[in-house]
Amino acid sequence: MESQLPAEFIVNVDHERCRRCKRCMINCSFGAIEFKDKVAPNHRLCIACHRCATFCPESAITITENPLDYKYGYNWTPEIRKNILKQAESGGIILTGMGNPKPYPIYWDHMLIDACQVTNPSIDPLREPMELRTYLGAKPECLKFDGDSACLETEIAPQVKLDIPVVFAAMSYGAISLNAHKALAMAAKRMGTLMNTGEGGLHEDIASYASNIIVQVASGRFGVTSKYLNNSALVEIKIGQGAKPGIGGHLPGEKVGEDISKTRMIPVGTDALSPAPHHDIYSIEDLSQLIYAIKETTDYKKPVSVKIAAVHNVAAIASGIVRAGADIVMIDGFRGGTGAAPMVIRDHVGIPIELALAAVDERLRQEGIRNRASILVGGSIRQSADVVKAIALGADACVIGTASLIAMGCRVCQKCYTGNCAWGIATQKPELVRRLNPDIAADRLCNLLTAWGHEIQEVLGSLGINAIESLRGSRERLRGVGLPQETLDILGIKHAGIGQ
């Protein structure tokens, strides 16, 4: 069937400025640029990854949306029409990548942060200590000391130290390239934080970074062995993710080459299917069983995290997870990214992380169990201000996926599932993977966290506090703007203009 879909983007080349160096053609991994006596774009194949424009020495390329106007119709958006055409031509589920792009409200942008004046001094982070150190893990309700108060009697469950309350999100080797994984591991070690293997297992080249790695146990159990579990800082059971709550994952067989086969411990060329649920977890007590199976296998030396998507009943689910023995709960909001997901799920399922976090933190406090697990949140943490707001709402630390990819060069073109990523990130093709230099990418990630760390310290200083634990859960330092009362109640914050 011939496609009726017009080109989504137009590649505009200024032929006068063009040097005919052919760099654009060499760089494009989607076949959208050819050269016939001059640069000849094939607009229908352009997906706006900007690779050509970035490398053009004359800045002679601009990428614009194909300006095909329809007669104005608010309801039948161009995108909806295109999707119908695609489905009429294929009969298939529309696949996409990265996070929900739809204009749902962004609650981070409706919260403002307090500052100290007159009655309380702000603090100078450049000259006075401003502590971001965070420990993840289950904490006892109180401590016991011996009679002389000299020795601590309470045994504390294992804690993982973060020098900055920002952790790299789970992205599997398979979804992203090995070079990307290496960059994340190196940056995590250098910055005193963690990266997450995702569900694709742990490649031997980064096994030495164990103390900065979260190993994930997902429904497909790829690469999961006792050695894998112990080669880590902590173990995460992935129940769901924000981008695709409730469904599993699929890495097509043609992407399972030698290396992936080895890391995931499946034969070359087979599909890597992650089932929707863990088939040994059909109820909360099963989760508890799996958590303790992992604890036994790791001799109780590693905290166990459970990652869930933010859905309607997330507070009750989180409470159950904590009571099931998890040391950490990781909540992924509906804007979380993915390498591949059906568009219908990515764009329409799940709830915002701001509301989920507020609900979970409050619920755990009401039940008196907030100390039993640390809360990690992700699903579109875009900037340091979002981190500050998340911690004020109650998070122990934030998880960044999309932001780390963008730091490495990702342009969020949403075509990860094609495996043609021109930036060498979401691909396994060697000629493309080579484009991502792990050392440089690691530097970029470290720069990002360093910059955010300084920014968070600046905000803490203006809040008049010098330790992150004095911000954590202190909703009093946030005010809402332009939010209805019910939303303010869910977030547990007051509207701007109201004093203490």
Partner 1 sequence: MKCDGIPSGCAISGMMSEEGRRIDGRVIIKSIACMHDRSNGLGGGFAAYGIYPERKDQYAFHMMYDSMEAKEVTEEFFKDVFNVDVDEPIPTYRENGVSNPPILWRYFLEVPENKLELISERDYVMKTVMKINSEVEGAFVASSGKNMGAFKGVGYPEDIGKFYRLEDYSAYIWTAHGRFPTNTPGWWGGAHPFTLLDWSVVHNGEISSYGINKRYLEMFGYKLELRTDTEVIAYLFDLLVRRHKLPVDKAILALACPFWKDIDRMEPEQKKIATAMRQIYGSTLLNGPFSIILGHSRGMIGLNDRIKLRPMTAARKDDMLYMASEESAIREIAPDLDEVWSPRAGTAVIGTLKAEVE
Partner 2 sequence: MRIDAKGMHYRPLNKIIRDAIAAGEKEFELDNVGGQRYIGGGLNDSVKITINGTPGNDLGAFMNGPKIIINANAQDGIANTMNAGEIIVHGNVGDIIGYGMRGGKLYIKGDAGYRVGIHMKEYKKQVPVIIAGGTAGDFFGEYMAGGIMILLGMNGKSPLVGDYVGTGMHGGVMYIRGKVDPYHIGKEVNCLELNEEDVKLIGSYLKEYCEHFGFDLNEVMSGKFTKLVPLSHRPYGNLYVY
Residue 129 C-beta: closest distance to partner 1, Å: 5
Q: Which of 17, 19, 102, 133 binds partner 1 (CB under 8 A)?
A: 133
- Which of 15, 70, 119, 484 binds partner 1 (CB under 8 A)? It is 119
The listed partner (partner 1, partner 2, none) that binds 475, CB under 5 to 8 Å by sort, is: partner 1
d(Cα 452, Cα 469) in Å, to the nearest integer? 17
Residue 118 binding partner 2, by CB under 8 A:
no
Q: Partners of 33 in the beta sheet?
A: 41
In whole angstroms, the minimum distance from the beta carbon of 461 to partner 2 comes to: 13
Kindly give the pairing relationship between strand 213-217 and strand 234-238. parallel
Does position 344 bind partner 2 by CB under 8 A? no
Residue 261 in the binding site for partner 1 (CB under 8 A): no
Cα distance between residue 497 and residue 179, in whole Å:
49
- Looking at 57, 121, 269, 430, which residue binds partner 1 (CB under 8 A)? 121
> Candidates 139-147, 215-223, 233-241, 339-347 — which segment interacts with partner 1 by CB under 8 A?
139-147
Question: Looking at 82, 161, 454, 494, which residue binds partner 2 (CB under 8 A)?
Answer: 454
Please report, for residues 295, 378, 380, 399, 438, the alpha-carbon distance to residue 402 in angstroms, rounded to integers and kept in the order given.
Answer: 31, 10, 7, 10, 17
Nearer to partner 1, 435 or 472 (CB): 472
Site for partner 2 in 121-150 (CB under 8 A): 124, 126-129
- Asked whether position 126 contacts partner 1 by CB under 8 A, the answer is no
**Residues in contact with 253: Cβ distance below 8 Å, sequence separation at least 6, in sequence order:** 269, 270, 271, 272
**Interacting residue with partner 1 among 3, 62, 154, 447 (CB under 8 A):** 154
Question: How far is the C-alpha of 471 from the C-alpha of 484, rounded, in Å?
Answer: 24
Size of the site for partner 1 (CB under 8 A): 47
For the CB of residue 121, give the shortest distance to partner 2 in the complex, in Å: 11
Quick one: CA dihedral 278, 226, 426, 354, positive or negative? positive
> What is the identity of the amino acid at 59?
S
Q: Among residues 2, 36, 74, 151, which is the contact residue for partner 1, using CB under 8 A?
A: 151
Tokens of 49: 């990854």
Q: Does 61 bind partner 1 (CB under 8 A)?
A: no
Which position among 88, 143, 156, 451 is part of the footprint of partner 2 (CB under 8 A)? 451
What are the residues binding partner 1 (CB under 8 A)?
A: 116, 118-121, 128-129, 131, 133, 135, 137, 139-145, 149-152, 154, 156, 159, 365-366, 368, 370-371, 392, 463-467, 469-477, 499-500
